[in-house]
Amino acid sequence: MVYSIHRKRYFMSQNVLSTKLKKILVIEDDISIGEVIQLILSQDTAYKPLVIDNPHKAVEIAKKLQPDLFIIDYHLSGIDGIHLYDEMHSSSELQTIPAIITTASLESHTQELEERGLVGLAKPFDMDDLLETVRQVLL
């Protein structure tokens, strides 16, 4: 299932309005967490998030969307986020797209993240941490 929250924003800064929107594909099977991430990323930012809750459709959707960034939950149904990242990055169209892995057990996955040059974000995270991490990765 793909879902999106649409809201009009009247108070966007000039910087955001003059910047090309960066597409972010969020793969999160907990719909409520996905909605929160989407809301945070879409409010007064230069980001256009798309959240999908089915990791098995991620590669197909990513190839069509060609996002600027992946945000992937580590604990997905049927596959972990690292293996999903590996699967997506094995495709030539997707291999240069950076990724952030979100997990409540960040310390347990540090080696896997470092081996792949991935950024980890510990759950629960606050809005500022998410936005700053995304900003840093997209620099």
Contact 26, 51 (CB under 8 A): yes
DSSP character string of 20-62: PPEEEEEE-SSHHHHHHHHHHHHSSSSEEEEEES-GGGHHHHH
In this structure, whether the domain defined by 2-138 belongs to CATH 3.40.50.2300 is answered with yes
* Residue ranges covered by each domain of the chain: 2-138
pLDDT recorded at residue 31: 93
Q: Which residues contact 1 (CB under 8 A, 6 or more apart)?
A: 52, 53, 54
Q: Tell me the mean pLDDT in the region 18-35.
A: 90
Q: Tell me the mean pLDDT in the region 77-103.
A: 95
DSSP character string of 75-95: EETTEEHHHHHHHHHTSTTTT
